[in-house]
A and B are shown apart, each in its own frame.
Chain A
């Protein structure tokens, strides 16, 4: 008979059993009839039938066993029994399931994110061969310049194909509203290098980037959302940057390169200054020839780059090439490291949850000793009892597992939501069988651990004594010892996790209060993007912002207003090499950031002028060239000497006079030390990059001011798109969002760890108090005060917490320091943090001890003893 049939029969067990019973009844009745016919009495006939037939029950069972899968049937019985047992104590079952769901689900969720973001290959053909090529000077990494890109492409022998691209913001206009969308300008080989084909239409052909015909490719989801999925869109015209642009193709939604929010691609056509060798604005992506390694590619491209450094020392001295895999390059290293830290923290939490569950199971096992002893006495084999234990933990883990899958997926969604735009490849994260697989693997491990814990305490004692003892419920000493060890290890885990969390929190707090060189309270910032069609020259853009800031400044409630082309902290500036008149050639390649500002910028932002003077009207008007530099640049180039009056030159051949020195402002991030920086008047702006930031100082609330500013800006140009309105404080906070996210998560993990440790302490103390009820009752009857009883019961809990704290402290410093250094750049765990952690743990643990102890001490000796 087929196994399948046997399995199916398990399901039909009830019907099969019914049929056999019917048959057996008939048979017995027929024998009785026969015997009665021979003259026996009813009673004798029935007895005779029994003896001829044998035990009907056992024959019936054997008849069923002959046709069904017995092992499955037994298992099913075990499962239903286990479920009934668990339903009798729903509190226990729910706590275990929740603990498991949290422990397993959290890990599975974080792992899913790591897997999709870090481990899974990019959805492009042969992603291993895709590389990002950048330039490096000293500590700084910059994109390539246009001529560098062309030369590298021509001179290298390792790339099959390569392309340049530059992400930017476009003003997209559909109907009346102008809005800012993310896009990029790319060379024609971009799509073939990456290996993506349009789902409709075609990609750029080389002539389009030369003739400058305005064409665009759109991403599928953008085409659906913004253009109502117009089926005839290819060949139609849309308004981008004030130009009429022909849509020539649609790219699939999954294609998210160079950025997740990139929805438009247009041909890259560097003109004028953008095509200068000193203008570093183009990222380079390449496809390495097959069988060429990353280090071969690195060496070959770097030697090409060094040739260029020799040929163009003015602009390329000291520049090297840096080659990274695209997958690695597209992933923010910090995101990866922090996800790993979260994973480690989640694993620790999972262990704590398992410790709690084991402890609960042991307690339950101890209270059920009577039941097991009776079953043993009735002849249940050890194996059968073992199987019952395993089945119970399996049922628990299975339900926990199902809950964990749901929990894991919510964790994934939550992480993606929390990271928002800071999560690379977020769109690729989806629930899959891998998630279920991870959860199941985790659950299997957990079930194994739990089964082992219970199995270890399968008591090989004397039946009689255990039946007699269990009546008094003194508790299994071995199980209690195991539970004590579990509680201590939970406290140790909590100490370590909380210390790291506390230190991360402390360092985050200090990051929030780093002096970035700007007086950032009461400053509102926003990005304003102009349609490039009507602002062809850089000076047009600069002049627009000078005009606009003048009008904004006269608005009621505005103290001061200015504009800058790249807002510090929020955006990278332009940068490149600066030549200084009279400096020896080895210092020719001095590297600095350039920013263009309207005259009131320094005063609006509260940046102090430490030397020299602000720009004069003729310098603002562009009649004389002047620059203001920051302190870092002054110190590096001139040391103690006076930089005022010195001449510098970059991007264009004219010399510019240094007229002032301002305090350092952190340019690229709170944690990044300031680099050398040059400020020029807005009028001298030479780029066609038309997005600037407006900064407005005002004590008035944001909302009321914003509509006024919006009206003023759009009064100056109706097509100006305003975007990313934030106070300067928020800009700083947003720049720390990665740290903030990890800090938030770690803090919540820390709280969870604290709760788990407290739960562990609580359940052990409550259990041992319950077990000692008769003893406590006698003591109370003999005159022990409640305080003495609390001390008696609580002593154990406090002792365990103390041991845990001591072991935890010993472990915290090395473990915490190792974990922290590798990821957060924290060198050690601060003593104040540690003292805080110990205090919090002592208080929480003390409370977790005191509550059950106090409850036990309120015992009424009479009723407690009578119960026994």
Chain B
């Protein structure tokens, strides 16, 4: 399987998607993208299309469940829900991220 060019970035995207779904409940791809833009205040500049490889992979890994539904404007869209496996994954990723940023913060303070 081709690795994303930046593992850390991929991990970050996964984390953001999982967090978004855990907080905001089932959403389709567009809504997830808007939400991420919104919470990060547009500081993370990612192409919205790059959500889809991540969504596909996480669905295949059973972190998410996908169901076809319709948007408010009546378009066909796939709605993603986080699964218990996904929640566990989220907890772990979150902890890892916090540990990492704490460690880097320390390093930056004392260097």
Contact = CB atoms under 8 A, between A and B. Distances in A.
B52 A60 contact: yes
Given A20-B52, A23-B29, A59-B49, A65 B2 contact: yes
Nearest to A3: B1
Interface stretch (B15-23, B54-62, B81-89, B95-103): B54-62
A364 interface: no
Contact of A23 (B2, B50, B52): B52
Interface stretch (A24-32, A118-126, A501-509): A24-32
Interface stretch (A47-55, A368-376, A469-477, A754-762): A47-55
B70 to A, nearest CB: 9
A67 B49 contact: no
Which of A30, A54, A60, A64 has the largest count of B CB atoms less than 10 A from its CB? A30
Contacts of B13: none
Interface in B42-77: 47-50, 52-57, 60-61, 71, 73, 75-77
Interface string B17-46: 000000000001110010000000000000
Nearest to B48: A53
Contacts of B61: 1
B33 A27 contact: yes
Contact of A29 (B48, B53, B54, B75): B75
Contacts of B57: 1, 66-67
Contact of B29 (A27, A56, A62, A64): A27
B48 A54 contact: yes
A388 B49 CA distance: 31
A258 to B, nearest CB: 65
A30 B49 contact: no
Contacts of B75: 26, 29-30
Interface in A21-75: 22-24, 26-27, 29-31, 33, 52-56, 58-60, 62-67, 70
A62 B57 CA distance: 10
Nearest to A29: B75
A20 B77 CA distance: 10
B50 A54 contact: yes
A757 to B, nearest CB: 50
A779 to B, nearest CB: 56
Contacts of B60: 1, 5, 66-67
Contacts of B77: 23, 26-27
B49 A54 contact: yes
Nearest to A51: B47
A56 B78 contact: no
Nearest to A16: B56
B49 to A, nearest CB: 3
Which of B33, B49, B50, B73 has the largest count of A CB atoms less than 10 A from its CB? B49
B45 to A, nearest CB: 10
A571 interface: no
Contacts of B71: 26, 30
A59 B50 CA distance: 6
Nearest to B57: A66
Interface string A487-530: 00000000000000000000000000000000000000000000
B30 A63 contact: no
Contact of B52 (A5, A6, A31, A59): A59
What is the predominant secondary structure among interface residues of chain B facing chain A? helix
A855 B47 CA distance: 63
A151 interface: no
Nearest to A22: B76
B53 A63 contact: yes
B78 A53 contact: no
B47 A59 contact: yes
A53 B56 contact: no
A5 B2 CA distance: 16
B33 to A, nearest CB: 7
A613 B44 CA distance: 124
B25 to A, nearest CB: 18
B30 A66 contact: no
A581 interface: no
A65 B71 CA distance: 27
Contact of B56 (A29, A31, A33, A64): A64
A205 interface: no
Nearest to A60: B52
B47 A54 contact: yes
Contacts of A428: none
A30 B56 CA distance: 20
Contacts of B29: 23, 26-27
Contacts of A55: 49
Which of A23, A31, A53, A64 has the largest count of B CB atoms less than 10 A from its CB? A23
A295 to B, nearest CB: 63
Contacts of A230: none
A337 interface: no
A27 B1 contact: no
Given A26-B75, A27-B29, A30-B71, A20 B56 contact: yes
Contacts of A30: 30, 71, 73, 75
A19 interface: yes
A62 B30 CA distance: 18
Contacts of B2: 62, 65, 70
B2 to A, nearest CB: 6
B48 A63 contact: no
Contacts of B53: 59, 62-63, 65-66
A59 B54 CA distance: 10
Contacts of A59: 47, 49-50, 52-53
B9 to A, nearest CB: 14
A52 B53 CA distance: 16
B87 to A, nearest CB: 19
B86 to A, nearest CB: 14
A599 to B, nearest CB: 95
A251 B23 CA distance: 80
A316 B28 CA distance: 103
A58 B47 CA distance: 12
A24 B33 CA distance: 12
A26 B28 contact: yes
Nearest to B58: A66
Contact of A52 (B1, B47, B54): B47
Nearest to B32: A27
A19 B49 CA distance: 14
B54 to A, nearest CB: 8
A57 to B, nearest CB: 9
A54 B1 CA distance: 22
Interface in A187-237: none
Contacts of A52: 47-48
Contact of B55 (A6, A63, A70): A63
A55 B57 CA distance: 19
A24 B53 CA distance: 11
A67 B60 CA distance: 7
Contacts of A33: 73
B56 A66 contact: yes
Nearest to A64: B56
A23 B78 contact: yes
Nearest to B28: A26
Nearest to A52: B48
A11 to B, nearest CB: 15
Contact of B49 (A1, A26, A53): A53
Nearest to A20: B52
Contact of B48 (A5, A19, A20, A27): A27
29 contacts: A1-B57, A23-B28, A23-B29, A23-B52, A24-B49, A26-B29, A26-B30, A30-B71, A31-B30, A31-B48, A33-B73, A52-B48, A53-B48, A54-B49, A54-B50, A55-B49, A59-B47, A59-B50, A59-B52, A62-B2, A63-B53, A65-B1, A65-B53, A66-B54, A66-B56, A66-B57, A66-B60, A67-B56, A70-B2
Given A63-B52, A65-B2, 14 more contacts: A19-B78, A23-B28, A26-B29, A26-B75, A31-B30, A52-B47, A53-B49, A59-B49, A62-B2, A63-B55, A63-B56, A64-B56, A67-B56, A67-B57
The 4 A-B pairs of least Cβ separation, nearest first, read: A54-B47, A59-B49, A54-B49, A66-B57
